Amino acid sequence: MKSLGLIWRILVGIKDFLVLCVLALFFIGLSALLTSAKPATVPNGAALVLAMDGALVDQASETSPFDAAAGNVAAEIQVRDVVHAIDHAAKDDRIKAIVLELDGFMGGGQANIATVDDALTRFRKSGKPVHAWAAAYSDDSWLLAAAASKIWLNPMGGVIITGPGGSRLYFAKALEKLQVDVNVFRVGTYKSFVEPFTRTAASPEAKAADQALAGSLWGSWLADAKRLRPKADVPAYIAQLPQRLGKFGGDSAKTALDAGLVDQLGSRDEFDAAMIELAGEDELSDWGHYTGVTLGDYLSATAKPLGERGDAVGVVYVTGNIVDGEAPRGTAGSATIRQALEEALAKSDDIKALVVRVDSGGGSVTASEEIRAALLAAKADGLPVIASFGPVAASGGYWVGTAADEIYAQPSTITGSIGVFAILPSFPRALADLGITSDGVKTTPYSGEPDVVAGLSPQVSQVLQMGVENTYRRFLTLVATARKLPLAEVDRIAQGRVWAGTQAKELKLVDKFGGLDAAVAAAAAKAGLKGEIRVVDIEKPVPAWQRALEGLGATESEEQAARDPWARLVQASRLRLLTAAHDLGWLAAGKGATMQVMCVECSMAGSPRPAAARQTEGLAAKLLQSSSGWGR
């Protein structure tokens, strides 16, 4: 037996050595690539090619070296990069036009899409055209294309507009069959995050609130569509879609053209030929043989040199789920954000004001408070703080925003959700049914608690509920103090209720409408800064090796949007299933035992996260296999 153990240890050692060798070769090769890469150039008369292959987000997710080696690089594009490139290209004589490649666009939340649309509108005012092309368009991709001078559509494609909304899964019956007890502690009539685990359908209160939210978001979407494409009557197109399709024998592309939703039907080759005529021919290009420059190359070629000095506004990014401790980019780790802020302010006296950019549906209460405290510390040192809400700034995201002197949002921003909950499963019935029981000793009523095996004691349940109620009162007080509102009024509009930006402004939960640029300008004005505003991003930096992969265009191909319009709807349904699987895994892991300020309704307008979908795909597949026998 000893000899077998020795052989096993030798084999494990060889395996570890080989893994280290592979990783060493990978990073040596990557280092060589970085040092040998040629500087990016911008051809004269070129098109700026914005290939929107992925999700539009405020902060791109961080990829681990192991995921990179396996080719699992999340397909995400940062809004700030796109806007910076568009605004720079408007004044760049070398750029003749913009080409929007939207075949792989996965969406990005209405607020972020509106920000890019505004930049495209500014670009067109310079006299330069914007051409958009896709094989098919859905809500997000069409709204982004709506700012173009000309929208192209593949003759085999179509435009399918569905509006916000959809179903989500409820697990109460399944959990009852499995004899799993779900212990819920919450405050807020509308705090519906827990409902999928406790009900078979939405409560009347939650459904009414969700319907009102969806209606507000849809109204905002239609207003943007009308502003950008006044001749396209989207409501009529949706209401009469079967009749309109019948007029053209079911041809979706001709139907969209007739309705004014697109301007030109053309194959990929026909579109490329038109772009060659516009920007000139380049047979060596990776896209359509027309002269162009990619977003990554253009940003590299136009980047300002390091070491720039002068007064600046710092932008702190709070994106994704808010968690305690350190976290990678794309997730709001409280310690990571606090450390980045403290280091930035310690290293430079140039930062005279702060903007906290929030795109988060919340998470941990303690993490949200740690981020808020870090912002308050900066305020105590004399720095004005302005909040800029992106697609979502709800629950913990709004908690963070209470540190600001002023809050900017978009009409489509999902915000509010001022409520608190904790949720913890226990398994005494399920285990007893298997013949498993438990026994032990206690020195206090809380020994070994919370006991998910024997069930929570009455004392623990009471303590947890009191903790939730105390945290809710703290939340109300924070909002009432920050927004200068009576506590009773905040309680009335809180209760876990989620609001679109339009209603949030009426309720005084936000101050003004505007994007990140408006918030930066407001922060600069409060700090007394004049002239061109310099912006410093305060966040965990992107690893150099990941930047290199992004420059090479590494993306996660299986997460690319489907090209058929109906297949895109199926893909959206699949993402909802992955979200439900994530929530079930979150519950099973017991993460809800800590106080949570989290918003489930925020998926209606939040920026999609391919990386998060990838993490839950395995669990979703297992659930499907166990329920239907697929894959056996």
What residues act catalytically?
191, 395
Cα–Cα dist 56/144, whole Å: 11
Helices and strands, counts by H and E, the chain: 24, 22
- Long-range contacts from 477-484, C-beta under 8 angstroms, 24+ separation: 478/372, 478/399, 478/402, 479/398, 479/402, 479/418, 479/509, 481/402, 482/402, 482/403, 482/404, 483/402, 483/508, 483/509
DSSP string, 101-139: E-TTB----HHHHHHHHHHHHHHHHTT--EEEEES-B-H
Closest CA to 615 of 64, 26, 180, 164: 64
Q: Which two tokens stand for residue 175?
A: 């959990």
Residues whose CB is less than 8 angstroms from the CB of residue 538 and which lie 6 or more positions away in sequence, other chains included:
314, 315, 316, 317, 340, 341, 344, 351, 354
What beta strand segments (E) does 3-127 contain?
Answer: 46-51, 55-57, 76-78, 95-101
Please state the separation of Cα 365 from the chain's center in Å: 20
Cα–Cα dist 632/630, whole Å: 6
Q: Which two tokens stand for residue 418?
A: 């001022």
Closest CA to 245 of 233, 257, 231: 257
What beta strand segments (E) does 320-443 contain?
Answer: 322-323, 332-333, 351-360, 362-364, 385-394, 406-409, 414-416, 420-426
What beta strand segments (E) does 459-513 contain?
Answer: 498-500, 512-513
Cα–Cα dist 428/182, whole Å: 11
- Determine the angle formed by the axes of helices 334-347 and 365-380, rounding to 10 degrees: 10
Q: Which two tokens stand for residue 142?
A: 């069409």
Q: Which two tokens stand for residue 393?
A: 């700034």
Cα–Cα dist 498/193, whole Å: 12
Q: Which two tokens stand for residue 92?
A: 């760049």
SS3 288: coil
Please state the separation of Cα 221 from the chain's center in Å: 18
Eight-state DSSP code of residue 589: T
Q: Look at phi and psi of residue 592 and say left if phi exceeds 0, alpha if psi is from -120 to 50, else beta.
A: alpha
DSSP string, 295-330: HHHHHHHHPPPTT--S-EEEEEEEESSEESS---TT
Helix (H) or strand (E) holding 470: helix 458-483
Q: Which two tokens stand for residue 608?
A: 């999609």
The CA-CA-CA angle for residues 313, 507, 414, to 5°, reads 60
Q: Which two tokens stand for residue 205?
A: 């209160």
Q: Give 408's strand partners.
A: 388, 512
Tell me the CA end-to-end span of the chain in Å, nearest whole number.
Answer: 37
